[in-house]
Amino acid sequence: MAGKAGLSKRQRAKIFRISQYVLLAAIVVVIAMSANWGQIKRAFFDLEVAADQFPNVIVIALKNTLVYTVLGFAFGLTLGLILALMRLSSVAPYRWLSTIYIEFFRGLPALLVFIAIGTGIPLAFPGTFLSRDVAIMLALGLVGAAYMAETIRAGIQAVPKGQVEAARSLGMSQGRAMITIVIPQAFRIILPPLTNELILLTKDSSLAYLLGSTLAEQELAQFGRQALTQFKSLTPVLVVGLCYLIITIPLSLLSRRLEKKYGSGGTTTRGADA
């Protein structure tokens, strides 16, 4: 007892860390010894099945995922900027409309938006035809715009008011000062959360399967689902997961780098809301 009482706080912390390492090592050893590695290899690491996914997983699925994401992000960013400016407008109806839109689409799962775009519009407007690319762009953009609008609004409000006052003193109109002075500075502040939103839209693009697809239109998730049923192996899912990581890991690194350079600006993303 005297020996334990004589341990310093640093020594006790060191003993605790070592005990945790030993416990984790023991768990790993037990799992490694009890696992059926042959079955795991067949289920997850079947090289023949993995090789069969190429080149379609790259030239079709990965390419389509990137295209859908870029379309959704471009539409969402444009609409989000408009909504952010409406939210900051001195005209009350603009603020009301923007607030209603943002709260509505932030409260809806993206799944329901895809269903509404894919089946609701043709039912509500008979004879209306939306190409698959346009439908995906609308579904992703409508949801993304609600989050990006709040991010952009926070970025605009983070720009010092003195910048606008200086621009007005030089004879610039309010609109010109906003476009040439405030918005460019705001976008430097909000680059990290916008990059995070791009990552989230990349993953949300997996919901495009709800709209149906041919082989040439499949994105990564649908491609993996079809290959899973064809080969009865989880290897295609692993290949698809690696393709998603090819997109998301560089974007995550870029987001952290931008955050260190420009700061978060006090903005929030979907991850922060969750």
Indicate if the pLDDT at residue 266 is higher than 80: no
Average pLDDT, the chain: 86
At 155, is the pLDDT very low, low, confident or very high (cuts 50, 70, 90)?
A: very high
d(CA 253, CA 251) in angstroms, rounded, equals 5
Q: Percent of the chain, pLDDT > 90?
A: 50
Kindly report whether the peptide bond that precedes residue 109 is cis, defined as omega within 30 degrees of 0.
no
Instruction: State the residue for tokens 């607030």.
Output: 99
Residue 21 lies in a domain: no
Residue 119 lies in a domain: yes
At 265, is the pLDDT very low, low, confident or very high (cuts 50, 70, 90)?
A: very low
Contacts of 50 (CB under 8 A, 6+ apart): 235, 236, 238, 239
Query: Which DSSP symbol is given to 217?
Result: G
In terms of residue numbers, what domain contains 238? 54-273
pLDDT tens digit string along 188-216? 889 888 999 999 999 999 999 888 888 88
Average pLDDT in the 69-75 region? 96
Residue 248 lies in a domain: yes
Residue 118 lies in a domain: yes
pLDDT at 124: 77
Average pLDDT in the 71-93 region? 95
pLDDT at 120: 82
pTM above 0.75, yes or no: yes
230 and 53 Cβ atoms separated by less than 8 Å: no
Upper half-sphere CA count for residue 128 (Cβ side, 13 Å): 13
Q: Which of 148, 242, 213, 219 is nearest to 186 (CA)?
A: 148
Beta-strand ranges (E) seen in the chain are: none
Of 31-40, 63-72, 128-137, highest mean pLDDT: 63-72
Number of domains in the chain: 1
Residue 1 lies in a domain: no
Residue 219 lies in a domain: yes
Residue 33 lies in a domain: no
Q: Which of 160, 161, 155, 159 is nearest to 192 (CA)?
A: 155
Contacts of 3 (CB under 8 A, 6+ apart): none
CATH at 128: 1.10.3720.10
Take residue 238 and report the two structure tokens written for it: 């692993």
Residue 131 lies in a domain: yes
Average pLDDT in the 65-72 region? 96
Structure-model confidence comparison of residues 261 and 222, the more confident one: 222
pLDDT at 1: 47
